A and B are shown apart, each in its own frame.
Chain A
């Protein structure tokens, strides 16, 4: 069972960056390059999973299951060249398998649990914008949300996103287009831009 007590994420890079981190700093210095890469990738996985699912504990469970699967099946004679793509692909497969097991697809993010963790943004306006975006993301179908997050949040190329999701690149483009357009209509920002054009 995953340890959920530490599954906390919060907004505010400056808080984490400026805070006293002697213990973590020592860990970073003692960790080799592979470990450093892995921590960064795992953090990205957790971020993606959190925005995909919405529930932090469930997201961390998903990441843990993916990492375990990677550990069990990775073989040293076939070293992984693109670790990020490999991890995301595995996470996607675990996610899909989980949905298959549960025989259900939940196409909404329980936004409240996520929004509650978006703390201390630089400004109230930003906070509202990010909450708005998170809510809009939660209303996207999962397949569109995956593509929007992989490309928009993680900065993946269309080709890499297609590999991760196991779909043709045309499908990725189609989902991206529909997902972004839905977001445009769901967010206030999109509405505001519309209004400006009308003027």
Chain B
């Protein structure tokens, strides 16, 4: 409300008349105007006329009935409803992740679920960026021509379960290549995606064999990380902090795993008793999605309808 108590004693102005007509004045100010009208009948007439205009417009709105309201562009509305519902699901997932309380702050994150594997180089702090951006500096890397090779290789470490490459095409992210990261403490692969601007999104997928947790992961300034665990599989997404894709990419990666056919889903695997699959819920290990990333959706206007970003703060989706 723009008429705060601070303005209570301001002289009656044009905006007051409009706000009186719209019923948007605080009681004290409204009473002041009522008194004002007694001495300024011309203002009273104007304000009452505006109020009647408003009532008449309301009747006009009520009277305009669209016979095809339920059938208006059904395919378009169905597609849009599905898109919006998808957004709500992502929001719920993001909120759940926030509630889980696992921090993923731009610049510094914690990693969970990497077991020790003797003889292999330890995964230490600051390892994730090296691992994802320049794996040759840390692990023996085997670039594979077909991304399914790296996925298939990792799938062998999942006790017969299979993985499917996350499809991020709907985010405008094209798969670039996959790499097998050998000689790490855990079987792991790296997947690289790229958007049309050339910004890269890195996905780390590893298989956990124990309950041990080892924190690491200093993300360089300007980057943001999402890390979570789904049963025996651990994930990390790292991308420039102005990337809008991370939260949804997380959802797609999870969906992709859960929808895998021909084998037990990872979620089910995580829930089922297994000597190799530690019992850790995804919710416990889900990292908080990036908060307040500036979006890159093209917009024509400076105005900004409210949108809900991950974590519930103001995001940057702009009108189109």
**Chain A residues proximal to chain B, CB less than 8 Å:** 2-3, 6-13, 15-16, 23-24, 27-28, 31-32, 34-35, 38-39, 42-43, 46-47, 50-51, 60, 64, 67-83, 85-86, 89-90, 92-93, 96-97, 117-118, 121, 126, 129-130, 133-134, 148-149, 151-155, 157-159, 162-167, 169, 173, 176-177, 180-181, 183-184, 187, 189-190, 193-194, 197
- Most chain A CB within 10 A, of B77, B80, B310, is at B80
Interface residues of B toward A: which range?
35 or more
For A184, give its contact among B18, B46, B59, B70 (CB under 8 Å): B46
Cα separation A10 to B24 with both chains bound (whole Å): 31
Chain A residues, Cβ within 8 Å of B225: none
Chain B residues, Cβ within 8 Å of A85: 305-306
Whether the pair B80, A78 counts as a contact (CB closer than 8 A) is no
Closest partner residue, chain B, to A149 (CB atom): B57
Chain B residues, Cβ within 8 Å of A80: 84, 87, 305, 307-308, 317
Task: State the 10 A-B residue pairs at the shortest beta-carbon distance, nearest first.
Answer: A79-B87, A77-B248, A89-B319, A166-B303, A11-B63, A78-B317, A85-B305, A6-B68, A166-B301, A81-B308
| Other contacts beyond A9-B66, A152-B22, A183-B53: 17, CB < 8 A | A10-B67, A32-B85, A35-B81, A38-B81, A42-B69, A46-B66, A67-B76, A77-B248, A77-B249, A78-B315, A80-B307, A118-B63, A129-B56, A164-B305, A177-B14, A184-B53, A193-B45
* 7 CB-based A-B contacts, threshold 8 Å: A10-B67, A35-B78, A43-B66, A71-B79, A77-B249, A79-B308, A189-B49
Cα separation A167 to B301 with both chains bound (whole Å): 10
Given A38-B80, A89-B303, A194 contacting B68 (CB threshold 8 A): no
Chain B residues, Cβ within 8 Å of A130: 56, 59-60, 63
- Most chain A CB within 10 A, of B72, B89, B297, B308, is at B72
Cα separation A23 to B74 with both chains bound (whole Å): 14
Cα separation A69 to B249 with both chains bound (whole Å): 22
Whether the pair A90, B319 counts as a contact (CB closer than 8 A) is yes
Tell me whether B196 is interfacial, beta carbon within 8 Å: no
